[in-house]
Amino acid sequence: MEFDEEDILVFDFIKFWFNFKPYEYQRRFLSACLHQNRVVGKWCRQSGKSQTVAWYSLFRATTGKVTILIFAPAQRQSKELFEKIRSIALDNPYLNSSIEKSTETELVINGSRIISLPVGHSGINVKGYTADIIILEECQGIKDMIVNTVILPMIASKKDAGQVIKIGTPETRNHFYNSCFIDKDYTVINVTWRDAVKAGQYTQKFIDEQREKLLDIEFRTEYEVEFIDDEASFFTPSLLQSCMEEYPLITI
């Protein structure tokens, strides 16, 4: 894959400020985020997707004035990505000097806002925001209804400029699945364990251990990043999802 001058700029930004050369699949994802307004990162676990999104968020926040909203099913999940962004900024002398506000859920840097929000069961607690960039962390756990009626309207006023980035691991066939395979507006960056081993993020020994310990369906979901057909499960993912929606155990 060839990269243009804008791509090289963000790669150099990461190398200079964070002393890290992005892996090839991270570069592909960053390039997609720079040039496309609808991006999906369907990555295996612990392959560096949160780190990559953190780099991109800080690049956009420090090179322009934007509002970035991070959504996840629960506060713990959205805070995990947000805390990675905030700690990178706090640990970097240049970025630290540009911080105007830093709390457990909001970072204001160079006039840009990065906010961490849980959507909970209904999404009612996050209504009212407007964003330039929306990041859906662990998006496989966010309901279609919340995405379509609560989150996406937040970029309506941005017309064609509002950006949506979905990152997660396959689960039930919801909006995440549609963005990966049906909705042609989305650019999909797929990262499996093979990419991670090739980059040195995993070792082959680790993958061999996981293949032994996990059920086939678990390994294929977590490391092959496959959406498993409902027929492969006794209790189908779609059935479990419908039960959770009708009888939620926890309302956040």
pLDDT tens column, 2-61: 899 999 999 999 999 899 999 999 999 999 999 999 999 999 999 999 999 999 999 999
Q: Any idea what DSSP says for residue 227?
A: P
Quote the pLDDT of residue 124: 86
Question: Residue 83: pLDDT above 80?
Answer: yes
Handedness of CA 184, 46, 231, 242 (dihedral sign): negative
Closest alpha carbon to 136 in 195, 70, 43, 44: 70
Q: Is the pLDDT of residue 209 over 50?
A: yes
Residue 191: in which H helix or E strand, if any? strand 187-191
Cα–Cα nearest to 4, from 35, 25, 26, 38 = 35
User: pLDDT value at position 219?
Assistant: 95
- Residues 6 or more apart whose CB falls under 8 angstroms from that of 194 comprise none
Under the banding of pLDDT at 50, 70 and 90, the label for residue 1 is confident
| pLDDT-derived band at 229, boundaries 50, 70, 90 | low
pLDDT band at 243 (very low <50, low <70, confident <90, very high): low
Q: What is the pLDDT of residue 251?
A: 40
3-class DSSP state of 121: coil
- Residue 139: which region, alpha, beta or left (left: phi > 0; alpha: psi -120 to 50)? alpha
Sign of CA dihedral 42, 46, 165, 60: negative
Indicate the CATH number for domain 5-246. Answer: 3.40.50.300
Domain boundaries in the chain?
5-246
Q: Positive or negative, the Cα torsion across 93, 94, 95, 96?
A: positive
Average pLDDT taken over every residue of the chain: 89
**pLDDT tens, position by position, 96-133:** 999 999 999 999 999 999 999 999 888 888 888 999 99
Q: The tokens of 97 are what?
A: 């000097």
pLDDT (0 to 100) of residue 165: 97
